[in-house]
Amino acid sequence: MGMAEPEFSATGVRIERWPRSLTKAGQVLIKDGRLALLTSYGRVIESAPVQAVRAGKPWFADEASTVATVNGKRYRLTMGQRGRRPDARLLAGRFLEAVRGAGARS
């Protein structure tokens, strides 16, 4: 795998930090061992080594949502918000696999 290739990338992600939405069209990127949550303009909301991130499926949310704890802050990530992408559920699963895979490699 090349260094420039991200391990995970999703755009059009709704990023919420309860009780408010931070962006409705953000980006989640895992690259070179780091997770970054970005606004639709590319500004970093939060960033941390992937090994330090906890992620899971919230029991109260739909299939396209995950919860990630980054630097002690909980974020709800809803994939495929823009255009209601049919692969949103798959993206959420791939995100969880990428985070858990990075933790297993540490």
**pLDDT tens for residues 76-86?**
999 987 666 67
* Amino acid letter, residue 104: A
Cα 92 to chain centroid, rounded: 8
Amino acid at 17: R
Identify the pLDDT of residue 2.
Answer: 44
Per-residue pLDDT of the chain (106 residues; tens, 9 = 90+): 444 567 999 999 999 998 899 999 999 999 999 999 999 999 999 999 999 999 999 888 788 999 999 999 999 999 987 666 678 889 999 999 999 987 666 5
> How far is it, in rounded angstroms, from Cα 74 to Cα 55?
9
Token output for 32 = 């070179």
pLDDT at 82: 63
Q: How far is the C-alpha of 95 from the C-alpha of 77, rounded, in Å? A: 10
